[in-house]
């Protein structure tokens, strides 16, 4: 296990504290949980004390909180299979914990005897009864479907496992004027450079922090994104103005391994510090929207579309598998 969790009191409120060694994947996962916050005082990430988070982090489990011995063995095999397929450790943790929740519910039933009807019962009697979110239910479905693809003897018909209806929410987008204010808010060239690169290239936070100087091709005016989401490489164009900024930045900071390094030379810049840079920019500009770095990426795509760029090209720039994701 790469993390530990326990109940804490923070500002007279029950919270779940999650402890782990500094790890960018885990930090990114924690940030995606609604209500997650960093406590400078306690130096720990903490989450709302909800049933969903209790299940997610195994807080105060009941006596029968383990799957059957068969279930435990199957989860271990499932982990080994995912590692052999080169799934990321964060995905392996997410899927194995989701499967564990499902197999605990059916701890008295042989895995081979589980049916599609059992999945429906689980959704109704556990997910819906405990008011767990549709995104958590979707994680469970992903884990179940993947798990049963590698089980030889099963009554499950994978194609008939249904997913929860997704919320039809539009992504958050900033105006060009708001973007300009945010990018010009910092006088520190490093902070300005990081935010400018995210917007001008439509980068994910992790993609920016993983960049190395060798990934900037100044002769071809492109940025090479190595091993991005889904273990895919892609190329994005680099504007002459941003390239000029990068050259000035490089002369001042002379990064060794990563393009943006923290206080320790050779180590990636911290994702939390990047979010703080954006937060400070918002405070300086007076923008009160709950902007995240991903808003800059959404805004990049929307502004390209508004300028007449073909949707298929935008899909390639963003690294989306499906055009439907880009269309939203």
Domain boundaries, the chain: 3-160, 176-327
Cα–Cα distance, 54 to 97 (Å, whole number): 12
CA distance 254 to 95: 40
Phi, psi (rounded to 5 degrees) for 325: -60, -45
Task: Give 318 or 146, the one with higher predicted confidence.
Answer: 146
Q: Is 202 left (phi over 0), alpha (psi -120 to 50) or beta?
A: left
DSSP state of 289: S
Choose among 142, 106, 145: nearest CA to 125: 106
Per-residue confidence at 86, pLDDT binned at 50, 70, 90? Answer: confident
CA distance 143 to 127: 15
Residue 26, H or E segment:
helix 24-31
pLDDT value at residue 230: 59
Compute the average pLDDT of residues 2-15. Answer: 81
- What CA–CA distance (Å, rounded) separates 137 from 120? 11
Classify domain 3-160 at the CATH class level.
mainly alpha
Confidence class for position 41, pLDDT limits 50, 70, 90: confident
The pLDDT score that the predictor gives to residue 76 is: 94
Q: What is the pLDDT of residue 63?
A: 46
Helices and strands: H and E segment counts in the chain: 14, 7
Decide if pLDDT at 220 tops 60.
yes
Strand ordering across the sheet containing 3-10: 3-10, 13-20, 44-48, 37-39
Q: Residue range 227-254: average pLDDT?
A: 86
pLDDT at 120: 92
pTM of the model: 0.56
| From 17-21, 116-120, 211-215, 319-323, the region with the lowest mean pLDDT | 319-323
- 75 against 60, higher pLDDT: 75
pLDDT greater than 70 at residue 236? yes
Quote the pLDDT of residue 64: 52
Give the number of other CB atoms < 10 A from CB of residue 214.
Answer: 10
- pLDDT at 215 > cutoff 90: yes
Domain 176-327: give its CATH architecture.
Orthogonal Bundle (1.10)
Residue 68 tokens read as 């059957």
Residue 266: exposure state from Cβ atoms within 10 A (0-12, 13-18, ≥19): exposed
Q: Distance of CA 136 to CAs 52, 141, 218, 252, Å?
A: 8, 9, 43, 45
**Average pLDDT of the residues in 222-227:** 83
The secondary structure of residue 168, as a DSSP letter, is -
pLDDT band for position 50 (50/70/90)? Answer: confident
Query: Hey, how many other C-beta atoms are within 10 angstroms of the C-beta on 324?
Result: 9
């Amino acid at each position: 296990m790469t993390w530990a969790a326990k109940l804490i009191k923070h500002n007279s409120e029950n919270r779940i504290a999650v402890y782990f060694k500094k790890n960018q994947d885990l930090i990114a996962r924690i940030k995606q949980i609604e209500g997650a916050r960093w406590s400078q005082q306690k130096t720990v990430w903490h989450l709302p004390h909800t049933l969903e988070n209790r299940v997610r982090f195994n807080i105060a489990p009941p006596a029968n909180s383990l799957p059957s011995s068969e279930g435990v063995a199957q989860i271990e095999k499932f982990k080994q299979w995912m590692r052999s397929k080169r799934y990321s450790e964060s995905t392996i943790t997410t899927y194995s914990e989701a499967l564990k929740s499902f197999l605990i519910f059916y701890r008295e039933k042989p895995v081979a005897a589980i049916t599609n009807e059992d999945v429906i019962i689980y959704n109704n009697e556990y997910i819906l009864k405990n008011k767990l979110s549709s995104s958590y239910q979707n994680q469970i479905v992903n884990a179940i479907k993947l798990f049963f693809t590698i089980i030889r003897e099963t009554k499950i018909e994978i194609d008939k496992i249904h997913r929860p209806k997704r919320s039809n929410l539009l992504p958050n987008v900033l105006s060009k004027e708001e973007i300009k204010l945010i990018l010009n808010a910092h006088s520190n060239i490093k902070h300005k450079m990081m935010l400018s690169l995210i917007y001008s290239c439509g980068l994910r936070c992790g993609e920016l922090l993983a960049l190395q100087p060798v990934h900037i091709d100044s002769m071809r005016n492109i940025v090479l994104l190595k091993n991005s989401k889904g273990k895919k490489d892609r190329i994005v164009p680099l504007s002459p103005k941003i390239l000029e900024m990068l050259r000035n930045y490089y002369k001042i900071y002379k990064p060794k391994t990563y393009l943006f390094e923290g206080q320790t030379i050779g180590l990636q810049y911290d994702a939390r510090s990047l979010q703080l840079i954006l937060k400070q920019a918002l405070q300086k500009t007076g923008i009160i929207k709950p902007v995240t770095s991903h808003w800059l990426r959404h805004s990049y795509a929307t502004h390209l579309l508004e300028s007449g760029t073909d949707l298929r090209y935008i899909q390639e720039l963003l690294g989306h598998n499906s055009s439907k994701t880009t269309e939203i």
